[in-house]
Amino acid sequence: MLTIKHYVCCGMDVHKKFVVATIANTDLKGVTTYIKKRFPTFNSDLKLLKEWLLKHNCTEVCMESTGKYWIPIYNILEDSCHVVVANPKYVRTIKGQKTDDKDSAWIADLFKFDIVPSSYIPCKEIRMLRELFRYRQKLIGHRSSEKNRMQNALTVSNIALASVLTDSFGKSASAIIDYILECDVFDPEHCKSLLQRKAKEKADDVVKSIIGYELSGDQSVKMKVCRKHYDYINDCISTLDKTISDLSKPYHKFIEFATSIPGIKETSATYIIAEIGTDMTVFKSSKRLCSWAGLTPQNNESAGKKKSVHVSRAGVYLKPLLVQCANAAIKDKKNPYFKFKYDRIKKRGGHKRAIIAIARMILTCIYHMFLKQECFNPSDTDYSDIPEELYKKHREQYIKNAIKLLEKEGCTIIPPSNIA
């Protein structure tokens, strides 16, 4: 039988222009009375909503995550109320019984029994970091699109720089493209003078890839616009990086913990913190965290038959990042810990399952490292299969990491030869 956990609580049906709030007040006999009110979503009205809730001694609030419209309400209420933001699928009403008033009352009824799972909402500082990092990822996607458009224009104009130069958007290639867009007559010798470092060894091939090009007016304009937009996006990303660097300073210790894992650099570590935060007590276990990140199989079983074992769609931002870190970890020659685990899993499950398993291992490590506040130091390292040379390098690296950590804690390291 369900028991009432919140005797005074509020359910909210959130919309773009207004929010319907219903306070469910349950007495000791189990009889519930409802108080409903509708508020516009202007800041002044949301403050009145806050005062109205406190006037009725209601500090337990539940609302569904409707687009981005729940965020202004959450920002105003989070200091004075315990706000639960629920996935709409958990508070869905019965078909044919849906109105704004009924929706808010239904949410309140579900919430008073505490049967609505709460979505993970990190603290305000982490939310700011997350917002900037996600926007940075969008800009990187736009930058890649502009690079593809530029490459398409070069191909259409019979300019095959990409076949000769490794980076068709490096300093040498960029200087040559700018020269082609500005010049009236192509000068091979001047083109060769624009090449830098190792690219000079391919000077003749670079000239061959350009001679005979046909740059039409439309492609020229397209390339100039793409170039300007590409440079502008780079400037925007640089601005975001400076702000992210400032916001991430309080989490420097946790960034160091994360970067001690093979395959994770400072940018990736900061991005992971922006997604999961640093307080691991909000997740009951590492399994819950991995499930939230979309690194566990879905439960889809009927009549004793498993219909699907694919990983869930959760973790739209975090999962791709962890997969990239996993790919880097299995290629790390200094620390082959994840490489051996990957090879073992790949034999029976293939590459895709193995790389998802490594990504889950990395996230599990981060969970325990943040919880215990310690660097990466796995206790299950099996040295029996590691060649002697790699074992020595592995051991030296661990000793260096341990010495650095001790020195940061203020300890003085005395070499064994100096001990009397």
Long-range own/partner contacts, residues 271-276 (CB < 8 A, 24 or more apart): 271/133, 271/321, 272/318, 272/321, 272/322, 272/366, 273/126, 273/129, 273/248, 274/126, 274/129, 274/130, 274/132, 274/133, 275/130, 275/133, 275/317, 275/318, 275/321, 276/122, 276/318, 276/366
CB-based contact 23:34 (threshold 8 Å):
yes
Question: Cα separations (Å) of 103 from 28, 56, 239?
Answer: 25, 20, 43
Q: Is 347 exposed, middle or buried (CB count within 10 Å of its CB: 0-12, 13-18, 19+)?
A: exposed
Angle in degrees, CA 157, 162, 165, rounded to 5: 135
Q: Is 10 exposed, middle or buried (CB count within 10 Å of its CB: 0-12, 13-18, 19+)?
A: buried
Q: Give pLDDT, residue 420.
A: 46
Task: Choose among 288, 285, 365, 374: nearest CA to 329.
Answer: 365
Q: Output b/e per residue, 240-260; b: 16+ Cβ within 10 A.
A: eeeebeebbeebeebbebbbb
CB-based contact 213:180 (threshold 8 Å):
yes
Angle in degrees, CA 104, 108, 110, rounded to 5: 120
Q: Give pLDDT, residue 381.
A: 63
φ, ψ of residue 297 to 5 degrees: the values are -65, 150
In the chain, the amino acid numbered 400 is K
d(CA 91, CA 109): 10
- Report the 10 Å Cβ neighbour count for 382: 11
Compute and round to an integer the Cα radius of gyration of the chain. Answer: 29
Q: Output b/e per residue, 88-114; b: 16+ Cβ within 10 A.
A: eeebeeeeeeeebeebbbbbbbbbbeb
CB-based contact 369:357 (threshold 8 Å):
no
| Site of tokens 């005395």 | 414
- For residues 67, 73, 74, 78, the Cα torsion angle rounded to the nearest 10 degrees is 180
Query: What sign does the dihedral 68-70-71-72 (CA atoms) show?
Result: positive
Q: Give pLDDT, residue 28.
A: 86
Q: Give pLDDT, residue 407.
A: 83
d(CA 53, CA 164): 67
Secondary structure element (H or E) that encloses residue 390, with its range:
helix 388-408
Quote the DSSP letter at residue 311: B
Q: Give pLDDT, residue 385.
A: 55
3 state SS for 318-334: HHHHHHHHHHHHCCCCC
| Stretches in the chain below the pLDDT threshold 70 | 1, 307-308, 380-391, 393-394, 416-420
Domains within the chain, CATH numbers bracketed: 8-112 (3.30.420.10), 126-247 (1.10.287), 250-408 (no CATH)
Coil vs helix vs strand at 308: strand
The alpha-helical segments, DSSP class H, found in 187-336 are 188-193, 203-210, 217-247, 252-259, 266-276, 286-292, 318-329
Q: Give pLDDT, residue 240.
A: 96
Kind of pairing, strands 82-86 and 32-40? Answer: unpaired
- Report the 10 Å Cβ neighbour count for 44: 8
